[in-house]
A and B are shown apart, each in its own frame.
Chain A
């Protein structure tokens, strides 16, 4: 049930474009006139000090918030305010800073839930679990097992996610997003709260997802080291405005960015 796209976006072309987007909550201007694009196949980092509006930006892309002004173009089509489930159906998958997992379900069920959109077969067949429904179920299970293998969480298959440590929960959430086979993957602080080893694992997974599956990724991240290592291009927000939009190296040396983070003209230490 994909939203039809007027043309298939080629590698390197803008998959998502945000134009002059402004967002206000009862007096607070979360975003003001922000414009940038995300090219197909790239890893785009969105960074900025706390309160810069990064999560709000993701929420706008994802459909949780409706901007008061501006346009969003996805896969060549301009979208009106889209509701989250429609964004999901359109090929955008999302992870959350504070996790949005089905806490009562096992790891396997959580990732299977990501296949919800792809299950097509008839209600009746599903009830009796036969014929095309069974075949589809097996295929979905196979895909999910591949993801479990990819993320190295085989041992957690049957454990209710509520019982997993934070770092592994984040991995399961990533798995669920991957199960949707999205065109665009939005990651909200995927490394938050992780130790060095976990961060390295997560970075490796993100890179692999981008390289192996070709998934376009937008991620919000605070760890500058991660941003430098992973991203192709970086957008920097401050108080809801874009203050830089370039490659990681250029952004690192940008005076505005340095000032935003440190308030003094020093180098940003990585």
Chain B
């Protein structure tokens, strides 16, 4: 009886009595959610257009961040370094298309997936070779990203908001909005949707699959770069950052592997859910909920709605 009270009543009572803590938790959840969404977005882009689950997305985040910081360390001014990193990501996209996707074009999905494994370790090796294995500091200040915190006396208490987090949410939102408009409105966006739907049909109307793949991997690279900058600014730039990519998996399951809005909504649900769960129900379960709650939620979805909230349910006419 008591346990039921603890699960179903007490947390809400706590939420009600200390609204400032609730808001703080919600905010933290939102920030985490937005960043998860960004990572998931990179996966969705590539999966949607080339049908490949890009295991290397996580390392691309690290690689992009490393390139940026590394260039800066070598004396390149911040924004120029940013521009050069963008170029590097383009070259990477181009290279992946030429050297990985094109030769394997008619192979099964599992083979392509393995290829991204290979790509991952290649990038790890390359990164360590060029930039060294030590963790680095993101050049946040040089990029004019704010630091410090804003503190509100509100909601009957005290809420603290990191400025960098605010910046992260804003930038991520702009990025997502930009991508959405891009997909909907432009010719290239249409072509991307076509390629995602049917390769054969896309070829028949004259869309070059190779061109589209380069564009998509490049876009994923930009997303990776943004993610790298944001995550890196909040903690540090190291190879352990690629673990973050694993968190994208529950997000993708929730939101559907092929949906951009799904990645956003999924990310937010996981992010907020995690933080709320950890803070209010965590003590019941001995803490550490954050590390596995997301996967449990994902498991639930796999059972009841495997295509996710937004995934495509292909309507087959028999």
Contact = CB atoms under 8 A, between A and B. Distances in A.
Given A101-B201, A102-B198, A85 B207 contact: yes
A117 interface: yes
A227 interface: no
A190 interface: no
Contacts of B2: none
B208 interface: yes
Interface residues of B, number: 27
A98 B186 CA distance: 29
Interface in B271-318: 312, 314-317
A154 interface: no
B185 A127 contact: yes
B198 A100 contact: yes
B122 interface: no
Interface in A108-130: 112-114, 116-117, 119, 123, 126-127, 129
Nearest to A179: B205
A4 to B, nearest CB: 16
Query: Which residue, B193, B198, B203, B205, has most C-beta atoms of chain A within 10 A?
Result: B205
Interface residues of A, number: 35
Contacts of B317: 162-166
26 contacts: A64-B203, A84-B203, A85-B203, A85-B208, A88-B206, A89-B206, A93-B204, A96-B204, A100-B198, A102-B194, A102-B197, A105-B193, A105-B194, A113-B190, A113-B201, A113-B205, A114-B205, A116-B187, A123-B186, A123-B187, A123-B188, A126-B185, A162-B317, A163-B315, A166-B317, A180-B205
Contacts of B207: 85, 116
B315 to A, nearest CB: 5
Interface in B187-237: 187-188, 190-191, 193-194, 197-198, 200-209
A85 B207 CA distance: 6
Given A119-B187, A180-B205, A103 B194 contact: no
B45 to A, nearest CB: 17
A89 B204 CA distance: 9
B186 to A, nearest CB: 4
B155 interface: no
A54 interface: no
A132 interface: no
B206 A116 contact: yes
Contact of B194 (A62, A113, A127, A162): A113
A83 B207 CA distance: 11
Nearest to B208: A85
Nearest to A125: B186
B201 to A, nearest CB: 4
Interface in A68-104: 83-85, 88-89, 93-94, 96, 100-104
Contacts of A100: 198, 200-201, 204
A104 B258 CA distance: 12
B12 interface: no
A84 B314 contact: no
A162 B201 CA distance: 14
A189 to B, nearest CB: 15
A127 B191 contact: no
B204 A84 contact: yes
A94 B204 contact: yes
A170 interface: no
Contacts of A93: 204-205
A160 interface: yes
B193 A116 contact: no
Q: Which of A85, A93, A101 has the most CB of B within 10 A?
A: A85
Contacts of B203: 64, 83-85, 88
A241 interface: no
Nearest to A91: B206
A65 to B, nearest CB: 13
Nearest to B187: A119
A116 B205 contact: yes
B194 A85 contact: no
A104 B197 contact: yes
- From B182, B190, B312, B314, residue with most partner A Cβ within 10 Å: B190
Shortest beta-carbon contacts, A-B, top 5 = A88-B206, A100-B201, A84-B203, A102-B197, A100-B200
B314 A126 contact: no
A39 interface: no
Nearest to A120: B187
Contacts of A180: 205-206
A177 B203 CA distance: 12
Contact of B204 (A88, A123, A166): A88
B181 interface: yes
B307 to A, nearest CB: 12
A242 interface: no
B198 A101 contact: yes
Contacts of B191: 116
Nearest to B181: A127
Most buried by B among A64, A83, A84, A177: A84
